[in-house]
Structure 1
């Protein structure tokens, strides 16, 4: 057990912007132990067992034959969602679309709040763009101030702006009216992207999406994910919505068969299983509320409100997230996302995916025992950091904000911004 646990933790230590895959972790564990996954943000209630059984029955057909063209699959998805197919481009995962957005639509600079999904900072930097990172203040619960972000974009001269709504990893959500006001304020930019990959899990208002308005604007793109919502990360599919000109540019650049046969099969199953899908979202929202309440009862843990299918927590003082992650995995078979490698976050933060109550009880038991040593009636003792606690992941100097007007709530990053 100790040797396999070491193999697994080595994978995390070797990882940079993203966690190792679940398949790689399972292979490294090598002992047949079932891991409870609080790391990968899937929908645990969808597809239903009946849908998986249907996919199983059709497995030979799915794997044997080529998929239809992306145009055929896009037309079906658009019909199910009530969209004009000329305003839609489907990709092999949202990351493929982020890549093409960067190559085709982003010129020299991109502004994005941090912490956020890593590809929005990493992808443009990989192609030589300037990335202007707007720190979200921990003291304000990582809430985005739209007016301050607009001022930041103007001060930096950014030509593209991106927000994730809800944001990953904290789950913060801007109301629809504020997102529309942001689009209005930045109407003169080359491009404004609203990444709504986790929006299906939100319940703060009836219809928070701005996709319908994006198609009417010359510079707006809304990005949506299907894999996360449908619990099918492995299928790799997502889509964007924009005016026909922008959507058409992306569609024209995509490979002819960029979508696989599994993606096609699932898309054509959707219209017959919308009720089960909607029910799964209600279950996730219920579990999120319960999970936030239960985590909030742990001494020293700061739990942020969330509209995603994950919860962002800050650990007690003197606790190192990487050590806690390793011990939860080795001693309890619980896999969590430690956020020390996310720009604007630190190793004192975890992102915990919303899961059913049976799994949450296992997580809570592991946290209580590992953090406080509460077993056999012993007095709780905080888990010490086994090595110096790392500071928050700094903003790269070449891509820093260059202004002290925005505090991060993290002293190390604030000192970096002010030059202190």
Structure 2
């Protein structure tokens, strides 16, 4: 894969990752070999049979105009048991966010961050004040409804948005908390609950507040069909609100804003309810398996998620942009680095939940780039000396016996070509007095003294004694960890 051509595309955009098609064109003939952990699709739906049927009707779908949005909306509402007067369908949830901002947000909007970028970018593009409440990393980025209400009041915000589950961390408020928040913010011009990923939650249908939204004068619930059905390219989503609010948005939408693919899929759904439900169960199962697999990587923190993605913090010294570039260029694995998300940094990745074989490819690639070897399975044959690991040593583990000096992390601006062409990187000698503390908490002590080189700056670390069995990851990572007060986080990051 032409690494420099492909990865340069990420530096050409400031808001989102380049599209899969843009990456494919830049990668040339090997585009199909990219394993995508960036775009949060449902890998199990539509079924192969549905794709075959869509392919068989491709000429018809592309040739003719779709039916009116009212016709397509009526069929969707029949399937979901909704009143069409309370629903507006858009060409993707982003189109609906745009019209919500233009029609219903007057002067200011409050939103917790990090979150979906259009909820911060869209109002700012139209001159609104966006009040952003930073979600605390110490609580696993969990949103506390009462804290958000206090923030809204302190800022005087006139509209508010909550994503449930939140993107990128997958944090979920239960139904009672959302209803309490809506009660306390009943006097605002507008409150939006973005449930775009709620179908993937363990108890998603019973968590939704869509039925309550139709009874409230200032509430909109937003849903995304493209994410649920694994069809981002079709571009369709919908909102649920009381008839007056839904009608205002519906009246502003362009005629024929829904395409023939969207119509065809909506009219196929009634025949495939069981397959769709099974696809959601499989994603939930894969999320648990993928969480466990990634949690085995030393120094990596996996936050609890109820979406079809996982938010992870990289080990100390790892730069997400460098990791993203090398995973793509050297291993054909595409990940979402979160340095351009407000409230996040390049220390974090959002990784889409995928089936086990793809996860194994991801984990193996991350181990090679981060540590220079497999660390969660019996090591393979020795790697060529030309392969340069991203981290100087494996956090919480002894270095390989043959490796006497740790190579430094490559600068973020550089990009390694495929492994066979990489020149050996000489070790750096660093004086102890040049240690510079980092804002991020260092890894806790787990053994003998050692030195970790992070982005060219040495950090004091500790490595276990050779021959001593490494403890479980959570215990090794969190010796001295103080309970966050959030049970879900503490289960993944237990105390000593």
TM-score by length of 2: 0.77
Structure 2 match to 1:289: 288
Decide whether the 8 Å contact of 2:34 with 2:333 is kept in 1: yes
Decide whether the 8 Å contact of 2:41 with 2:227 is kept in 1: yes
Shift of 1:167: 0.2
Structure 1 match to 2:174: 175
SS at match of 1:131: strand
Shift of 1:30: 1.1
Shift of 1:31: 3.5
Structure 1 match to 2:321: 322
Unaligned stretches of 5+ in structure 2? 375-380, 384-398, 401-405, 414-436, 441-496
Q: What is the CA–CA distance in structure 2 between the aligned matches of 1:342 and 1:20, rounded to whole Å?
A: 15
Unaligned stretches of 5+ in structure 1? 393-420
Structure 2 match to 1:413: none
Of Structure 1 and Structure 2, the greater helix share is in 1
Larger RCO of the pair (alpha carbons < 8 Å, separation 6+): 1
What is the correspondence of 1:98-113 to structure 2 with a 5 Å cutoff?
A: 98-113=97-112
Deviations 1:375-412 (A, max 9, x none): 645836687252499999xxxxxxxxxxxxxxxxxxxx
Q: Is 1:233 aligned with 2:232?
A: yes
Q: Is 1:277 aligned with 2:302?
A: no
Structure 1 match to 2:456: none
Distance 1:115 1:334, change over 3 A: same
Structure 1 match to 2:75: 76
Q: Which moved more, 1:203-212 or 1:253-262?
A: 203-212
Deviations 1:210-230 (A, max 9, x none): 000000000000000000110
Q: Which moved more, 1:201-210 or 1:216-225?
A: 201-210
**CA root-mean-square deviation:** 1.7
Structure 2 match to 1:17: 15
Decide whether the 8 Å contact of 1:78 with 1:84 is kept in 2: yes
Q: Is 1:386 aligned with 2:407?
A: no
Q: What is the CA–CA distance in structure 2 between the aligned matches of 1:229 and 1:236, rounded to whole Å?
A: 12
Decide whether the 8 Å contact of 2:201 with 2:306 is kept in 1: yes
Q: What is the CA–CA distance in structure 2 between the aligned matches of 1:48 and 1:382, rounded to whole Å?
A: 46
Structure 1 match to 2:161: 162
SS at match of 2:255: coil
Q: Is 1:138 aligned with 2:145?
A: no
Q: What is the CA–CA distance in structure 2 between the aligned matches of 1:385 and 1:317, rounded to whole Å?
A: 14
Q: What is the CA–CA distance in structure 2 between the aligned matches of 1:374 and 1:256, rounded to whole Å?
A: 56
Q: How many aligned positions are there?
A: 390
Q: Is 1:222 aligned with 2:221?
A: yes
Structure 2 match to 1:94: 93
Shift of 1:205: 6.2
Q: Is 1:40 aligned with 2:39?
A: yes
Shift of 1:204: 4.3
Structure label with greater radius of gyration: 2
Q: What is the CA–CA distance in structure 2 between the aligned matches of 1:213 and 1:390, rounded to whole Å?
A: 46
Deviations 1:302-331 (A, max 9, x none): 000100000000000111000000000011
Distance 1:361 1:246, change over 3 A: same
Decide whether the 8 Å contact of 2:327 with 2:333 is kept in 1: yes
Decide whether the 8 Å contact of 1:370 with 1:383 is kept in 2: no
Deviations 1:216-256 (A, max 9, x none): 00000000000011000000000000000000000000011
Structure 2 match to 1:50: 49
